Amino acid sequence: MLKRITSNDPVQRFYVALHESTLSLLQAYRDNYQSVYGDELPQNLAIETMLLEFMEADKDFQKYRKTQAKERKEPARTSAPQAEPQDSGRPEQGPSELDSGQGLY
């Protein structure tokens, strides 16, 4: 059963053709929702919520989304060689107090 639905997200129209048998099942589902929650469930909101829950439950799709998000966040890689760090002649310093989390407060 779908959870109680609330939404303030902007809407974009999208038209879809469904089989009559699917529409009958959708209407039966909406009737059941109304009997459980006492609220009418608009057809568009029922379809949208079902699609969202289906996609959230699809593990392969969630992996795909994470991969896409990582690819968008990674900076573009260039083929130019990176400059080597210059040796300052000083010994390398260890972590500071801030690096270790001490002395922050």
- Encode pLDDT of 17-68 as tens digits: 999 999 999 999 999 999 999 999 999 999 999 999 999 999 999 999 999 9
| The one-letter amino acid at 63 | K
pTM above 0.75, yes or no: no
To the nearest 10°, report the CA torsion of 68, 72, 73, 77: 120
Q: How far apart are CA 40 and CA 5, in angstroms?
A: 10
Q: How far apart are CA 57 and CA 77, in angstroms?
A: 33
| The one-letter amino acid at 82 | Q
Domain ranges of the chain: 20-72
Q: How far apart are CA 74 and CA 16, in angstroms?
A: 36
Q: How far apart are CA 17 and CA 2, in angstroms?
A: 22
- Encode pLDDT of 10-28 as tens digits: 878 888 999 999 999 999 9
